[in-house]
Amino acid sequence: MRWFFLIFLVFYMSISLADDIRIITSFPPNVSTAYGELWKSKNPDSEFLTLNKNTVASIDEIARGNTRGFDVFMASSPEAFELLSQSGAFHKPVECKYLDFDAIEPFALSSIGWARRKDSGVFLPANWNDLTKQLYRNKIAMVRPARSGSSHLMVEQLLQTRGWNEGWAFILSLAGNLSTLTARSFGVTDGVAQGRFEIGLTIDFLAQSKAKELDFRYGRPVMLTSAKIGLLKHGKSPEAACRFLELVLSEEGQSLLLNPDIARIPISPEVRAKYGQTPKEVKDALNLEWISYDARLSARRYWAVNTLFDTMITEVLDERKKIWARLDELSAKYGETKIQNIRQLLLEPIASELDVERFSSVLASNLRTTRLSGASQEQTVITERWRSSLRDQFNLANDAMFALEREFK
């Protein structure tokens, strides 16, 4: 009788564990908590287990084989799904054969812009170029792209809409106004709300979920991307994963996104039409089919662009800000025309698109390298060459500023 009870207990536990669902996501806890409550209302005997990680850490976890058996991945980063698809991380299990869905499905729309406290005395920038004006010196925050899919998305949008050289020129000019680079995406909007900085570059829903405290403005052109949900290989509960995907894409799951604490835009046009909460900028963007985000291009050069950003900005942010401040002083003393060539030098990217393609090709067969620790010898050589090029650029700029000062002594 005891053996029968033990066998029954093990059998019951295996069923119970198999029915629990395990989510890995880059979303803040308010999103996963809301979906967890909805899941529990439909499946009271099932546990909803969530691991919140930044996008890069999530990619790394899954790319190393999903050894902890997560069933579902949810994120806003199109590149994350492109990269993980290349490694075969997703599949539609046989338990989902009754569903008219793929292994990866979009479920929400997003775009990028900036936020400001409602009680701030600082003018809300009207467009991207306003963000580079001197009045915003040391007043802007963003998250480091290597730590955030939405921040990488912003960098790529600028590179794709403006072109490689002009896009980096804008980003490098913007860097002169940065107060800090945060570690997580929600650190930007939290920091703005708490008064640590005045302007935060952010994805729309993080600002709009704090609509009582923050104003938000979309950057134009509004380039929409979709947050996605993917069914992972080696998940412990494939049948539960299928039901969760079905729930997220249902009217109830889609309308949950409109909760003010989540403030996301449903992928379902029927839900958007029914509840009528879609911002005008997003409605307009949905009708402009020529503005499209190339997630495949972004995925191909994901690590290279992040490394280039870190080399030109993250590692030298304080030094770059001091150089911009010095240029401002020289411009005020001697006129902008005297320092135009120096400023232009500092706005040139230290690597061409061809360099980045080469760097990306090194990584193409080694998806597990999500950080430069453990990088290949060629990756290290390329990165050090970029650092050396930046140092040469800074030295030329400093020499030119000294020469200008000597000229007017």
Number of structural domains, the chain? 3
Tens digit of pLDDT per residue, the chain (409 long)? 444 433 333 333 334 445 899 999 999 898 999 999 999 999 999 999 999 998 888 998 999 999 999 999 999 999 999 989 988 999 988 878 777 888 999 999 999 999 999 999 999 999 999 999 999 999 999 999 988 888 999 999 999 999 999 999 999 999 999 999 998 888 999 999 999 999 999 999 999 999 999 999 999 888 899 999 999 999 999 999 999 999 999 999 999 999 999 999 999 999 999 998 899 999 988 887 656 789 899 988 988 899 999 999 999 999 999 999 999 999 999 999 999 999 999 999 999 998 888 777 766 544 444 443 456 677 788 889 999 999 999 999 999 999 998 888 7
Q: Which of 167, 193, 221 is the last residue of a domain?
A: 221
Residue 242: closest CA among 108, 109, 90? 90
Residues 73 and 35 in one domain: yes
* Res 371: pLDDT: 47
Residue 154: closest CA among 197, 200, 187, 121? 200
Point out which residues pair with 228 in neighbouring strands: 75, 106
3-state secondary structure of 209: coil
Residues 217 and 229 in one domain: no
Token pair of 270 as six digits: 């029927």
Residue 223 CA to residue 227 CA, distance in Å, equals 13
Residues 6 and 103 in one domain: yes
Dihedral sign for Cα 165, 170, 171, 177, please.
positive
Residues 408 and 335 in one domain: yes
* Res 5: pLDDT: 38
Encode pLDDT of 150-203 as tens digits: 899 999 999 999 999 999 999 999 999 999 999 888 899 999 999 999 999 999
In what helix (H) or strand (E) does residue 232 lie, and over which residues does it extend?
Answer: none
Residues 92 and 233 in one domain: yes
* 177 domain residue, yes or no: no
Residues 282 and 307 in one domain: no
Residues 323 and 257 in one domain: no
* 59 domain residue, yes or no: yes
Query: Would you say 86 and 240 are in contact if contact means Cβ atoms under 8 Å apart?
Result: no
* Res 355: pLDDT: 83
Residues 237 and 323 in one domain: no
* 171 domain residue, yes or no: no
* Res 16: pLDDT: 41
DSSP for residue 128:
G
Encode pLDDT of 365-391 as tens digits: 444 444 434 566 777 888 899 999 999
Query: Would you say 198 and 122 are in contact if contact means Cβ atoms under 8 Å apart?
Result: yes
* Res 289: pLDDT: 63
Query: Would you say 189 and 210 are in contact if contact means Cβ atoms under 8 Å apart?
Result: yes
94-to-102, 234, 238, 376 alpha-carbon distances in Å: 12, 13, 8, 38
DSSP for residue 92:
-
* 214 domain residue, yes or no: yes
Kindly report the pTM of this predicted structure: 0.87
Residues 399 and 376 in one domain: yes
Look up the domain containing 214 and give its range: 112-157+183-221
Residues 314 and 346 in one domain: yes
CB neighbour class for 402 (10 Å; exposed up to 12, middle 13-18, buried from 19): exposed
* 200 domain residue, yes or no: yes
* 165 domain residue, yes or no: no
Token pair of 186 as six digits: 């929600």
* 191 domain residue, yes or no: yes
Residues 71 and 123 in one domain: no
* 407 domain residue, yes or no: yes
Q: Which of 240, 256, 286 is the last residue of a domain?
A: 286
* Res 277: pLDDT: 86
Q: Which of 221, 243, 271 is the last residue of a domain?
A: 221
The amino acid occupying position 90 is F
DSSP for residue 124:
P
Question: Cα 68 from chain centroid?
Answer: 24
CATH of the domain at 15: 3.40.190.10
Residues 21 and 149 in one domain: no
The C-alpha R_g of the chain, in whole angstroms, comes to 24
